[in-house]
Amino acid sequence: MIKDNLFDRMNYAGEVNWDLDKSNNFYFFMNIDILNGCDFSCAGCYVNKGTNSVNLDEDLKIISKIADEINASNFHLEEIALGPTDFFSAKNTLQVIEHPDFKRLFKNPETKFVMLSTLKASTEEIREKLLKLEEHVGHLDIDLLIATDMDEFLTDPNYISNIKKKWKVLQESNLEFDPAFQINIHPANLIKYDSANLTRLAQEIKAEFDTILEFNPSILRIKHRNQTENLHFWMNTIKENFQKNAEGFTYTMLNKGHSGMNNLVVNFRSGNFYICPFIYENVFSYDNTYLIPKKDQLHSLTDLTDAKEDFVVKQMKYSEQTTHCEGCEYLVSCSYKNVLTFMEANKIKDCFLGLGNGEIHGRAI
């Protein structure tokens, strides 16, 4: 089934309390890149589609050990995002679902499962995988992120009707879905990402599916040879839209608590955990800079929590080498979001968020 009032509930990140005055919990988010293969070629995709997991048994053993430790502690395992490729077309989806350690990840019924998909697989494939998921894991609360593309959504006459067919399959499933659309912002798009077009897209998505549109800085996923230009493009898109339509968009960076002090987001790939920078969205990067060291053969929960603190301290120190961060009102928040680690990895000295110099201000969630 698809939950009701998607837009109203998802238009802000209210289900996790980012306000430290009101929060009594510490939240864990795990992005696990263990799916291999994808049948599609979305515009702006910088995902490694090939071999994200070469030893699935070992990977799931490591991840489920951490999940068990979180569930045995006072911390809360809020979300597990299974990626990086399309859930319904990846080559090893069934192997993952049927693995006994996968079920262990969702021992706490409140842990949400984040599923990534284009919903372009056939209705039969989608139905088959959902039935398997239900059979092996039982009840699941699923945040479904539908990868879409502005050119396609706004110009292909068949796109919406095709997605509606898949929507019906989700409605018929016993699993619970919160679907939202997500676009990869990338420089080669034909329709400009200006505020008029983005607003039109967001309004169509709201009218047709009663849900929200998120922007994803997929271009930050890898250290690309055009990384600096890509970053510049992404930030200019954000700034231009802010200037033209400050009320219509939600800017997660303005919320000092969002993805900050009382939560820990980690990325996992091929046996290793990495801290996850938050630059308007989670950055799925597997650069050595973000690697979380382990004290034993297998990672423990303490390795992850220690890394959170160690990275914050390193960033406070790095702020001395930057142009704007030292003394900035966002410094603690940016350090908890690992923004300065991202800056150091990309040799950035100036505030590139538009916050430190007041270019972006005002509406936060």
Residues of this chain that interact with ligand SF4 (CB under 6 A) are: 38, 40-42, 45, 47, 49, 85-86, 118, 147, 324-325, 328, 330-331, 334, 339, 351, 353, 355-356
- State which residue, 120 or 299, has the beta carbon closest to ligand SF4: 120
How crowded is residue 69: how many other Cβ atoms within 10 Å of its Cβ?
17
Shortest distance, CB of residue 321 to ligand SF4, whole angstroms? 11
- State which residue, 64 or 85, has the beta carbon closest to ligand SF4: 85
- State which residue, 47 or 105, has the beta carbon closest to ligand SF4: 47
Query: Which residues make beta-bridge pairs with 177?
Result: 2, 142
* Residue with nearest beta carbon to ligand SF4: 356
Shortest distance, CB of residue 190 to ligand SF4, whole angstroms? 17
3-state secondary structure of 321: helix
Shortest distance, CB of residue 19 to ligand SF4, whole angstroms? 19
Shortest distance, CB of residue 227 to ligand SF4, whole angstroms? 17
Comparing C-alpha atoms, which of 225, 209, 227, 206 is closest to residue 217? 227
- State which residue, 80 or 353, has the beta carbon closest to ligand SF4: 353
Shortest distance, CB of residue 334 to ligand SF4, whole angstroms? 3
The whole-angstrom separation of Cα 291 and Cα 288 is: 5
Shortest distance, CB of residue 217 to ligand SF4, whole angstroms? 13
The whole-angstrom separation of Cα 51 and Cα 63 is: 17
Cα distances (angstroms) measured from residue 238 to each of 179, 216, 248, 322: 23, 11, 12, 22
- State which residue, 136 or 324, has the beta carbon closest to ligand SF4: 324
Give Cα 12 to chain centroid, integer Å: 15
Both tokens assigned to 328? 């900035």
**DSSP-assigned letters across all residues of 270-316:** TTEEEE--BSSSB-----GGGBPP-SSSS--HHHHHHHHHHHHHHHH
**Burial per residue of 132-148, b for 16 or more beta-carbon CB atoms within 10 angstroms, e otherwise:** ebeebbeebbbbbbbbb
Shortest distance, CB of residue 218 to ligand SF4, whole angstroms? 7
Comparing C-alpha atoms, which of 64, 141, 136 is closest to residue 109? 141
- State which residue, 34 or 353, has the beta carbon closest to ligand SF4: 353
- State which residue, 303 or 359, has the beta carbon closest to ligand SF4: 359
- Residues 361 and 333: beta-carbon distance below 8 Å: no
